[in-house]
A and B are shown apart, each in its own frame.
Chain A
Amino acid sequence: MCCPVRRDSRLCIVPPHMLRVLEMRGDRKTAAMARRLLDQSCRIRDDRAAIAARPMLAEGGDAPGFVAEGYLGAAAARGLLREIHDGESRAALPGRLVRAEGDPPTGDASADGAYDGAGAVYDLYFEEFGRNSLDGAGMTLIATVHHRRNFNNAFWDGRQMAYGDGGGEIFRTFIETSVIGHEMSHGVVQFSGGLVYEGQSGALNESFADVFGAQTRQRLEGTGACESDWLIGKGILGPGIKGVALRSMKMPGTAYSDALLGQDPQPYHMDFYVNTTEDNGGVHVNSGIPNHAFYLYCMYLGGNSWGVPGQVWYDALRRLNNPYASFHDWATQTVQSAVQLHGVGSREVLALRRAWTLVGLAI
């Protein structure tokens, strides 16, 4: 575990799981030390060194959470700042700046779609949850489009979003509102205490990104919970792929069934939880369980997903002080948030308990 060269005897007895939390939450110096100790080769990539870790601060009040520095106190004034770059089919990030905040459309559908999508996600978090950008402190939303050649992926790299064009066969684009909301919500998780990207905590990280990606799309389209199709990445699959989306929150496991991609492997219940070492312990597979719980909760309550259900999920993320949270930990936290917001015997709490029970998590 410890670096043989710049060994630090104070931290070498610290177990890896603690180092990973320190890397995630520590100030710049602490994060760098934790990263160095985790990195057996002591080679920290230049791009990662540039990422400034932000400390989590205790919020006051009866049920304090740990929140990003910029989230303390009242929401700041609206401060949307976007930068869209063209990766020009190369791997280097961020690429050539093509549209900054307030610039007119470029005429490039991907660049303009990423710009508009980032605005929709910012609006969701600012107007509904009082959060000023991903870090709560107004950070610039940086995105790169046309990332790499025929690249079949979109991701959050710790400080920006990147979208490939897709090769046309499997994916035709990644510029879709729920996908943009998904990637940016990984940033919100990162700056809200973090969820380690493996196993159940990783699946929760994925689920939070899907939940808020879905909310972004539903809010933009003005669809309530009962009218929505609850698909993530609707329409991004290639024309020859037998499927409608990447994932379905309404019916996990039914988004696609294709000769090339196989069957959508997402479970909707803990009885079908998938134990695997692939994909960081199945983070994109088992996220179907908390995804479905959120869907059920929205259906029980009716109205808009970004209303009561979104508020409960967002509050739970802010108050969850456990980067290694299990599904049970998360479900418990959402119930505690619902109790805090609506009262012990409220309809909002009873519906939430019922939703979790239906996916096999009795709270």
Chain B
Amino acid sequence: MMITITTSGGIGGFGLARKAEVAVDELPEPLHSETCARLDPAALAGLRAGSAPRGADRIVYHIVVVEQGAAPSTFDLPETVLPGPTLDLIDELLDFVSKR
């Protein structure tokens, strides 16, 4: 499974200006298991119906999940609909990718 994470919005309007392309099968444990659980297309699909976020300068995550033999699943998710542990996981993935 491949996951691509890009962003938009934020105080500058250009998101976090960091992009992550993650080959999930290459992730070490427990990062692998947590990624499979939290960024699974079914789990993300359950998040995207949230209402418009309150506040300002928030980030929107654009997540593309490509599973073998399946069409890409695309999600545009305001950070306000993502649970804290999922945001922490995204930070960990961004960090992991930047250090590779």
A binds B: yes
Contacts of A240 in B (CB 8 A): none
A-B contact count (CB 8 A): 111
The reply to whether B18 and A90 contact each other, CB–CB distance below 8 Å, is no
The reply to whether A186 and B54 contact each other, CB–CB distance below 8 Å, is no
Task: Give the residues from 1 to 34 in chain B that come closer than 8 angstroms, CB to CB, to chain A.
Answer: 8-14, 16-18
The reply to whether A149 and B55 contact each other, CB–CB distance below 8 Å, is no
User: Known interface pairs A43-B49, A91-B84. Does A278 touch B54 (Cβ–Cβ under 8 Å)?
Assistant: no
Q: Does B71 make an interface contact (CB < 8 A)? A: no
Sample of 9 further A-B pairs with CB below 8 A, known A20-B52, A265-B13: A152-B10, A153-B57, A153-B59, A155-B58, A174-B11, A179-B11, A189-B56, A279-B8, A279-B9
Nearest B residue (CB) for A153: B10
Q: Does B88 make an interface contact (CB < 8 A)? A: yes
Interface residues on A, range: 35 or more
User: Known interface pairs A155-B56, A186-B56. Does A91 touch B14 (Cβ–Cβ under 8 Å)?
Assistant: no
Minimum CB–CB distance for A85 against chain B, Å: 14
Q: Does B66 make an interface contact (CB < 8 A)? A: no
Inter-chain CA distance A148–B59, complex, in Å, is 13
Q: How many residues of B contact A (CB 8 A)?
A: 31
Convert A33-49 into 0s and 1s, putting 1 for each residue whose CB lies closer than 8 angstroms to a CB of B: 00100111101110010
The reply to whether A155 and B52 contact each other, CB–CB distance below 8 Å, is no
Residues in A lying within 8 Å of B, measured CB to CB: 20, 35, 38-41, 43-45, 48, 51, 89-92, 148-158, 167, 170, 174, 179, 182-183, 186, 189-190, 197, 205-206, 209, 233, 246, 260-262, 265, 278-280, 282-285
Contacts of A265 in B (CB 8 A): 13
Residues in B lying within 8 Å of A, measured CB to CB: 8-14, 16-18, 49-52, 54-59, 80-81, 84-85, 87-88, 91-92, 94-95, 98
Inter-chain CA distance A275–B82, complex, in Å, is 28
- 23 pairs across A/B with beta carbons < 8 Å? A35-B51, A39-B49, A40-B51, A41-B49, A43-B49, A45-B50, A91-B91, A92-B84, A149-B88, A149-B95, A150-B95, A152-B16, A152-B18, A153-B57, A155-B56, A155-B58, A189-B56, A205-B56, A260-B17, A261-B17, A279-B14, A284-B11, A284-B13
User: Known interface pairs A90-B84, A167-B18, A209-B56. Does A279 touch B13 (Cβ–Cβ under 8 Å)?
Assistant: yes
The reply to whether A45 and B18 contact each other, CB–CB distance below 8 Å, is no
Inter-chain CA distance A39–B98, complex, in Å, is 36
The reply to whether A148 and B88 contact each other, CB–CB distance below 8 Å, is yes
